[in-house]
């Protein structure tokens, strides 16, 4: 509670400061969302989260950005730091960033996840916390956008504190997830390695309607001095975006897709239940494809504000691991845009746990859910 009062006091002070003239530019932005989730067995109000974003433009070359995530979960209020970093514009095509930042591993984690931007009330399978591939990191990054004739490209290279392999040796740290990579290690799982990564993207058309991106990420993930110290992780992502107003459809078509893959080198782990040794091909992947259509030129404010959206996503964790999974999800919905940053989403989603759930004795699991969600950008 004390933290919340402190945050409110800081925000109030900074909002007051923005009325003062001067070279500095401060802005409080962010987003909030909340809604109702209805399943066969229960209906629950979900979300209830508020993400203030602090922007401080110190000068023409310096920018500070930070985002907090304040959410209600299990009756408790949790506060987390999504990112906090300083950016310095070196020249027209190069920007240096230092701090904690969203990683350009694909496009979803960095640009498309905020509730008022994401067309769905949920994230695709494998694109949330504990997903496939990194989402944020603490380190240094060089990035920029470069015109290439009538086309354009962007790039990013970074070095961050590396992720850590859960080798299953510590019974207090989810030993059933041995082989899984923890991208944001906390507490006892302190990172000793550095990870390198980057993304290049090409926008081949002069109207910037299409973007194709390729991302890579590499790190040692084993703890030094253990049998896992040579275990490495290589992850990569391919992302695609196409947004275009199409005259014969009287509207805007928006296509988004991304494929994430994670390959961890071979290692033997100990089963925490019977102490037996086992190994598996430690490859994970997830992908999604999303299509939305908004008829912005139908001549009626109501119909112009509607948007139809569909998404298919899939997640695969390694076969043979104690945490193996093979899931697919289909979501379809209709959104109503109150204005350009306020949206009400009505979504029907079906998640299929797949064959592995059946093999493990849990039976074929298919969970239907209906969401009514309001997302608000400010």
Partner 1 sequence: MKKYKFKIIAGIFLLMTVALFIASCAASKPIADKPGALLWGENCVRCHNAPSPSAFSDTQWEAIGKHMRVRANLTEDEVNKIVEFLSMANQ
Residues 95-114 that bind partner 1 (CB under 8 A): 95, 97, 110-112
Q: Does 71 help bind partner 1 (rule: CB under 8 A)?
A: no
| In the complex, least distance from residue 196 CB atom to partner 1, rounded to whole angstroms | 19
> Which residue, 21 or 225, is less far from partner 1 as judged by CB?
21
| In the complex, least distance from residue 316 CB atom to partner 1, rounded to whole angstroms | 7
Q: Which residue has the tokens 């401080």?
A: 56
CB 118 within 8 A of CB 112: yes
| In the complex, least distance from residue 7 CB atom to partner 1, rounded to whole angstroms | 20
> Which residue, 19 or 40, is less far from partner 1 as judged by CB?
19
Using H for helix, E for strand and C for coil, what is the string for the chain? CHHHHHHHHHHHHHHHHCCCCCCCEEEEEEEEEEEEEEECCCEEEEEEEEEEEEEEECCCCEEEEEEEEEEEECCEEEEEEEEEEEEEEEECCEEEEEEEEECCCCCHHHHHCCCCCCCCCCCCCCCCCCCCCCCEEEEEEEEEEEEECCEEEEEEEEEEECCEECCCCCCCCCHHHCCCEECCCCCCCCCCCEEEEEEEEEECCCCCCEEEEEEEEEEECCCCCCCCCCCEEEEEEEEEEEEEEEHHHCEEEEEEEEEEEEEECCCCEECCCCCCEECCCCEEEEEEEEEEEECCCCCCHHHHCEEEEEEEEEEEECCCCCCCEEEEEEEEEEEEEEECCEEEEEEEEEEECCHHHHHCCCCCCEEEEEEEEEEEEC
Q: Does 133 help bind partner 1 (rule: CB under 8 A)?
A: no
Residues 205-264 that bind partner 1 (CB under 8 A): 205-211, 240-248, 252-255, 257
Work out which of 14, 72, 84, 93 binds partner 1, going by CB under 8 A: 93
Residues 143-172 that bind partner 1 (CB under 8 A): 143-147, 149-150, 152, 154-156
Q: Which stretch binds partner 1 (CB under 8 A): 32-40, 87-95, 168-176, 362-370?
A: 87-95
Distance CA 225, CA 205 (A): 51
CB 33 within 8 A of CB 116: yes
| In the complex, least distance from residue 103 CB atom to partner 1, rounded to whole angstroms | 12
Q: Does 89 help bind partner 1 (rule: CB under 8 A)?
A: yes
| In the complex, least distance from residue 294 CB atom to partner 1, rounded to whole angstroms | 9
Q: Does 337 help bind partner 1 (rule: CB under 8 A)?
A: yes
Cβ-based neighbours of 108, under 8 Å, separated by 6 or more: 123, 124, 127, 239, 256, 258, 288
Q: Does 39 help bind partner 1 (rule: CB under 8 A)?
A: no
Q: Does 278 help bind partner 1 (rule: CB under 8 A)?
A: no
Q: Does 30 help bind partner 1 (rule: CB under 8 A)?
A: no
Q: Does 116 help bind partner 1 (rule: CB under 8 A)?
A: yes
| In the complex, least distance from residue 370 CB atom to partner 1, rounded to whole angstroms | 24
Work out which of 32, 46, 51, 63 binds partner 1, going by CB under 8 A: 63
| In the complex, least distance from residue 195 CB atom to partner 1, rounded to whole angstroms | 21
Q: Does 57 help bind partner 1 (rule: CB under 8 A)?
A: yes
Q: Does 356 help bind partner 1 (rule: CB under 8 A)?
A: no
> Which residue, 159 or 200, is less far from partner 1 as judged by CB?
200
| In the complex, least distance from residue 178 CB atom to partner 1, rounded to whole angstroms | 24
Residues interacting with partner 1, by CB under 8 A? 18, 25-27, 29, 55-57, 63, 65, 87, 89, 92-93, 95, 97, 110-112, 116-117, 143-147, 149-150, 152, 154-156, 201, 205-211, 240-248, 252-255, 257, 287, 289, 291, 312, 314, 316, 326, 328, 337, 339-341, 377
């Amino acid at each position: 509670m004390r933290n919340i009062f402190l945050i409110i006091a800081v925000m109030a002070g900074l909002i007051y400061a923005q009325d003062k003239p001067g070279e500095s530019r401060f802005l409080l932005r962010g987003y909030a969302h909340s809604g109702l989730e209805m399943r066969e067995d229960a209906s629950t109000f979900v979300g209830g989260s508020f993400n203030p974003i602090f922007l401080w433009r110190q000068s023409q070359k310096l920018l500070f950005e930070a985002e907090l995530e304040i959410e209600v979960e299990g009756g408790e209020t949790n506060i987390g730091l999504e990112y906090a970093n300083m950016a310095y514009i070196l020249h027209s095509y190069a920007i240096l960033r230092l701090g904690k930042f969203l990683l350009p591993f694909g496009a979803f984690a960095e640009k498309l996840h905020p509730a008022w931007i994401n067309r769905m009330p949920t994230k695709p399978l494998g694109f949330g916390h504990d997903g496939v591939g990194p989402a944020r990191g603490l380190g240094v990054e060089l990035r920029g956008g470069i015109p290439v004739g009538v086309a354009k490209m962007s790039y990013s290279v970074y070095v961050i504190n590396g992720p850590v392999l859960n080798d299953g040796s510590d019974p207090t740290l989810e030993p059933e997830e041995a082989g899984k990579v923890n991208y944001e290690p906390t507490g006892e799982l302190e990172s000793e390695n550095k990870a390198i990564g980057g993304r290049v993207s090409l926008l081949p058309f002069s109207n910037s309607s299409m973007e194709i991106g390729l991302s890579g990420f590499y790190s040692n993930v084993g703890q030094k001095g253990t049998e896992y110290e040579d275990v490495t992780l290589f992850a990569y992502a391919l992302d695609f975006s196409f947004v275009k107003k199409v005259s014969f459809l009287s509207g805007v078509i928006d296509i988004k897709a991304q494929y994430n893959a994670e390959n961890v080198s071979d290692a033997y782990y100990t089963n925490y239940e019977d102490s037996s040794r086992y190994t598996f091909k430690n490859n994970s992947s997830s992908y999604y494809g999303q299509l939305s259509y908004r008829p912005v030129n139908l001549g009626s404010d109501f119909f112009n504000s509607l948007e139809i959206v569909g998404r298919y996503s899939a997640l695969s964790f390694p076969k043979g691991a104690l945490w193996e999974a093979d899931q697919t999800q289909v979501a379809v919905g209709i959104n109503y845009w109150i204005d350009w940053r306020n949206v009400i989403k009505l979504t029907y989603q079906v998640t299929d746990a797949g064959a592995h759930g059946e093999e493990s004795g849990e039976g074929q699991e298919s969970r239907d859910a209906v969401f009514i969600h309001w997302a608000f950008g400010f």
